[in-house]
Structure 1
Amino acid sequence: MYENTSIIARLRTRLQAPGPAYPLLDQLEGRQPGARQAAVLLALYEQQGQLSLLFIRRATTLRAHSGEIAFPGGSVEPRDASLTATALREAWEEVGLVPEDVEVLGMLPPVFTVVSNFLIVPVVGYLAQGPGELILQRSEVAETIVAPLAALADPSIARVEHWTRGEKTRSVYFFDYNAYCIWGATGRILHTLLSLLHPDTE
């Protein structure tokens, strides 16, 4: 991995710039014109000198994906001016991250969720002054989890399984961080983010 400032600089050059013309195309699943659109925020900030990533654990009372580890985010609403606006609004509503405190670094490729029919755009943001006071929307968020990128990049916590649904086999990424299992769309997004930071990735 790299020093914190180097990581942020690397992401600025490697992420897709945010904009209205962002192609909503999952590189593995192809175009999904019937999918519901959503956006999530990958919030990076320094904690105890380490660049870390903010996750949430979804409330167990939710009907979909209850109790799972995710990034703050949700469905696009008509009032959202862009997918970036969706990610920032949802992060504010779910955990109290102030949108004006987030420097948007760019976007990762969209991820299509086969079961729930969402096309999710991951927005990567940096909070130079930290997250401030987090206020959780308890109806949706059970807790927040802050994980150093260095710990998430440890190959000993990662594994990949190959699942077949219908006639298509897909790679499913798992990260066992402390007592938490990060997988599904969140695992795939995290895998993509960490891949950008690998020294062999150009």
Structure 2
Amino acid sequence: MSSINEVVTTLRSRLAPPDQALSTAPPPEIASRPLRRAAVLLPLFEAEGLPCLLLIRRAPTLRTHSGEIAFPGGSVDPQDRDPVMTALREAQEEIGLPPERSEVLGLLSPSFTLVTNFWITPVVAFLPAGPGPLTPQASEVAEVIRAPLPALADPRIFHSEVWDTSGLRRVVYFYDYGPYRIWGATARILHQLLSILEESTAQ
């Protein structure tokens, strides 16, 4: 996980192809819920010789998930041809990341938010030229976070808990990265990404 080239090569071979973004159905236990489809972008880039990941801290004035750590993203709009387009569009709107800077590597498994009923498609992208200058939309984003992958993968910042919510028993992940607590859907998505990279390293 110390080389961006190794990270990108691994993810190219392990992620679902982007054209499967519309074909993954929710499991039976949540399929009957009024699902709201969304997508997020996981932008990877190199900084100071390390592979890094962009996250955001949501504005404290938002009605839901205010102040939480997240990936740039949002709801699928009717004009979006697929969740990949949603993720790229939302990243541009939220943090000013131009879509042409992103080379989409593939998809992680969708994640479900139990309280808000979002069915989220995580889109992983590589930024060969880096993120460039970013302009966060103040009404939605309080801060852009550039986190090195090796720091996020440090087992000392991770723990999990088992929660029982609305009759559903689930594992909740937590990453305490510096002053930030990453949890919920963002932590589940991050855990997926790191697990793929760690499994590749162990082989």
Q: TM-score with structure 2 length normalisation?
A: 0.94
2 CA distance for matches of 1:33 and 1:20?
A: 22
Q: Which residue does the alignment assign to 1:115?
A: 115
1:67-86 superposed matches below 5 A: 67-86=67-86
- What is the SS of the residue equivalent to 2:42? strand
Secondary structure, counterpart of 1:79 in structure 2: coil
Distance 1:28 1:107 in 2: 21
1:73-128 CA deviation, whole Å, 9 max, x = no partner?
00000111111000000000000111011000000000010100100000000000
Taking the aligned partners of 2:32 and 2:186, their CA distance within structure 1 comes to: 19
Is the contact made by 1:44 and 1:51 (CA closer than 8 Å) also made in structure 2? Answer: yes
Instruction: Provide the rounded CA distance (Å) in 1 between the counterparts of 2:180 and 2:169.
Output: 25
Give the C-alpha shift of residue 168 in structure 1.
2.1
In the other structure, the counterpart of 1:94 is: 94
Give me the whole-angstrom Cα distance separating, in 1, the residues matched to 2:84 and 2:48. 28
Residue 179 of structure 1 corresponds to which residue in structure 2? 179
Partner of residue 135, structure 1: 135
Identify if the C-alpha distance between structure 1 residues 21 and 123 changes in structure 2 by more than 3 Å, giving closer, same or farther: closer
1:15 and 1:28 mapped to 2: Cα distance? 23
Read off the aligned partner of 2:96 and give its amino acid letter: G
Write out aligned runs for 1:1-202 (5 A). 1-19=1-19, 22-26=22-26, 31=31, 34-199=34-199
Q: Number of residue pairs matched?
A: 202
Mark the CA change 1:142 to 1:129 in structure 2 (over 3 Å): closer, same or farther: same
Calculate the TM-score normalised by the size of structure 1: 0.94
Matched to 2:75, the amino acid is S
CA distance in 2, matches of 1:160, 1:59: 26
Contact 1:38 1:121 in 2 (8 A): yes
Q: Is the contact made by 2:21 and 2:82 (CA closer than 8 Å) also made in structure 1?
A: no
Change in CA separation of 1:26 and 1:53 when aligned onto 2, cut-off 3 Å: farther
Q: Which runs of 5+ in 1 are unaligned?
A: none
In terms of fraction of residues, the more helix-rich structure is 2
SS in 1 for 2:137: coil
- Amino acid aligned to 1:165: T
Letter of the 1:109 partner, please give it: S
The list of structure 1 runs, each at least 4 consecutive aligned residues, that deviate by more than 4 angstroms after superposition, is 26-30
Per the alignment, do residues 20 and 192 of structure 1 end up closer, same or farther by CA in structure 2, a change over 3 Å counting?
closer
CA distance in 1, matches of 2:68, 2:56: 8
Q: By how many angstroms is 1:47 displaced?
A: 1.0
